[in-house]
Structure 1
Amino acid sequence: MKLLRYGPAGQEKPGLLDAGGALRDLSGVVDDIAGAVLLPEGLARLQALDPATLPVVAGNPRLGPCVGRVGKMICVGLNYSDHAIESGMAIPTEPVLFMKATSAICGPDDDVEIPRGGAKTDWEVELGVVIGKPAKYVSRERALEHVAGYCIVNDVSERAFQLERGGQWDKGKGCDTFGPLGPWLVSADEVTDPQALDLWLEVDGHRYQNGSTRTMIFDVATLVAYISQFMSLQPGDVISTGTPPGVGFGQKPPVYLRPGQTMRLGIQGLGVQTQRTVAAD
């Protein structure tokens, strides 16, 4: 099941993508792809629907972030050993966690802003994990029972703010538009193995990232269990699980985004995002 949200920013309606690729309106069934809708019983209700009975959405509306009312977005740094090496950082012995401001979340094809004063804005294709059943002190063995589904995240980063301005990484990770989510929330039952997904990213047609979730240091189950030891996870919370090598920061010499470029990124079975870069107002 591929769930999505469509319409103008801040006014998105819930929908799903049917087997034929048509967008179907869910607003007569649920108010949003958020909160209790992501609980196991909420998802079961949607899976029991016959998509053919739902109205078809005409045209090609804007897609919003595939999850609404995200309570928190937890990101994992340096979760691919070859990315840690290209960044000149030690391979972590425990997951490195930081938070991305929820105000950074935007639609999968929305413009990405180069922030004022930004000189080193970078890209990171990542597997996003969306929590369904609340998780607190869960075991690794039961962790995937708490996952509603998966999506693509572009963990856009301003490296100068992140690494050269003192303090935590958050200030380089939370700028507006730095968290595109979607296009779809793919329910967990459709993702047979989250550790067997190819992921890639291109800028202006040049392939920079070409990796697989097989090479994660800490797998999805480990991350959900680990994070739940430090904070409870609620329906709609998003975990962004780290990026494979090929970021701009790791190029020799480094390559960073500038206004007027196009990022295109995808994950096997989870769709594709396309973003144009613009200067922040």
Structure 2
Amino acid sequence: MLLVTYSIDGGPRRVGVQRDNEVFETTAQSILDSGLAETGAKHPLSAVTLHAPLRPGKIVGIGLNYTEHVAESARTLDTDKELPQRPVLFDKPATAVVGPGEPIQHNGNLTQQLDWECELAVVIGRTARRVRPEDALSHVFGYSIMNDISARDQRRSGQWFFSKGQDSYAPFGPAILTADAVRDPHELDLSLRVNGEVKQKSNTRYMLFRIPELIADISAGMTLEPGDVISTGSPAGVGASFTPQQFLRPGDVVEATVQHIGTLRNPVVDAR
């Protein structure tokens, strides 16, 4: 089931289920109580505005979680060339979240190195505290897409928070694919395009630390609550890896795609 948050003509935000090119109105309570997907009116997808599926309580980002991205980051971003022995964790604030179609802000006073990272997002559905890897997936509600936007020139003494946490640096959506509809979250194609040109193309099978390991590691010291999001890391092909380097500029359009979930499309605008 693909769950979306949508509005019509600027009206209140509603919960819906997307089926092909239609959105069926439902409620979160209906889904929780009985799994009902279609309890109200239906609308053409073209007639609704999609928003970020939810506002996460917290976003836990995973750095250097694809082997080839470790190599390209060591070459171009001065990170360690050795594979991490434990997940590399950082956070993004909820204020960084924007939905499909909403702009990524390029503030030239703060960055000239605005970069992209297409990532599978894991949405937590049940409280997870000190969870064993073998039990971890039972705490997952579903999966979505996050574009881990990064200002490469705002890393401060190795700290990533401002580099990755500014407003609009967490495009999220366009839907949540419920966990029961995903046979294996480690067999999903993912890709990213800028102005129609493919920049990233990979598969989640190449994760260094898989989702059960990530949930176990994070929940060992931090309670994961329903609605929290884990952004599971980027494959190779970020803008900093190209020769010459390629970064986002106002007027660009970024499209991040994950198999079965959809495409998250966002324009880049001048924020000064």
Q: Which residue of 1 aligns with 2:51?
A: 64
Residue of structure 2 aligned with 1:192, choices 180, 183, 186: 183
- Which residue of structure 1 lines up, in the alignment, with residue 62 of structure 2? 76
Q: CA deviation at 1:273?
A: 1.1
RMSD in angstroms over aligned alpha carbons? Answer: 1.8
Aligned pairs for 1:80-229 within 5 A: 80-88=66-74, 89-90=80-81, 91-115=83-107, 116-162=109-155, 165-229=156-220
1:45 aligns with 2:33: yes
Contact 1:129–1:241 (8 Å) recurs in 2 = yes
Q: Is the 8 A contact 1:203 1:263 kept in 2?
A: yes
Q: What does the per-residue CA deviation read over 1:136-157, in whole Å, with 9 as the maximum and x for residues that have no partner?
A: 0000000000000000110011
Letter in 2 for 1:56: K
In 2, Cα distance between equivalents of 1:124 and 1:167: 19
- Inter-partner Cα distance in structure 2 for 1:9 and 1:203: 28
Distance 1:279 1:24 in 2: 35
Task: Flag structure 1 segments of 5+ consecutive residues without an equivalent.
Answer: 31-36
Q: CA shift at 1:166, angstroms?
A: 2.7
Evaluate the alpha carbon distance shift between residue 9 and residue 212 of structure 1 in structure 2; reply closer, same or farther with a 3 A threshold: farther
Change (3 A) 1:63 1:50: closer
Letter in 1 for 2:208: I
1:9 Cα deviation after fit: 8.6
Paired with 1:175 and 1:11, the residues of 2 have a C-alpha distance of 26
Partner of 1:34: none
SS in 2 for 1:182: strand
Determine the structure 2 residue equivalent to 1:231. Answer: 222
Contact 1:25 1:54 in 2 (8 A): yes
Specify the alignment match of 2:5 in structure 1: 5
Unaligned runs of 5+ in 2: 75-79
Is contact 2:122-2:229 (8 Å) kept?
yes
Q: 1:247 to 1:50 in 2, by over 3 A?
A: closer
Superposition deviation, residue 206 in structure 1: 1.1
On the 8 A contact 1:9/1:64 being kept in 2, the answer is no
Alpha carbons of 1:10 and 1:81: their partners in 2 closer, same or farther (altered >3 Å)? Answer: farther
Task: For 2:142 and 2:182, locate their aligned partners in 1 and report how far apart those are by CA, in whole Å.
Answer: 8
Alignment of 1:252 with 2:243, yes or no, is yes
3-state SS of 1:254 partner: coil
Mapped to 2, the partners of 1:236 and 1:104 lie a distance apart of 15
Question: Do the aligned partners of residues 212 and 145 (structure 1) sit closer, same or farther apart at CA in structure 2, a change above 3 Å counting?
Answer: same
Q: Distance in 2 between matches of 1:186 and 1:206?
A: 26
More strand by share: 2
Counterpart residue type for residue 100 of structure 1: K
Q: TM-score of the superposition, structure 1-length normalised?
A: 0.89
Cα separation, 2, equivalents of 1:129 and 1:279: 30
The question of whether the paired residues in 1 share the 8 Å contact of 2:31 and 2:37 is answered with no
The Cα of 1:44 is off from its aligned counterpart by 4.6
Over 3 Å counting, the alpha-carbon distance change for 1:237 and 1:126 in structure 2 is same
CA distance in 2 between counterparts of 1:232 and 1:62 reads 33
- What amino acid is the match of 1:255? Q
- Provide runs of 4+ in structure 1 moved above 6 Å: none
Deviation at 1:60, TM superposition (A): 2.6
How far has the Cα of 1:117 moved from its partner?
2.0
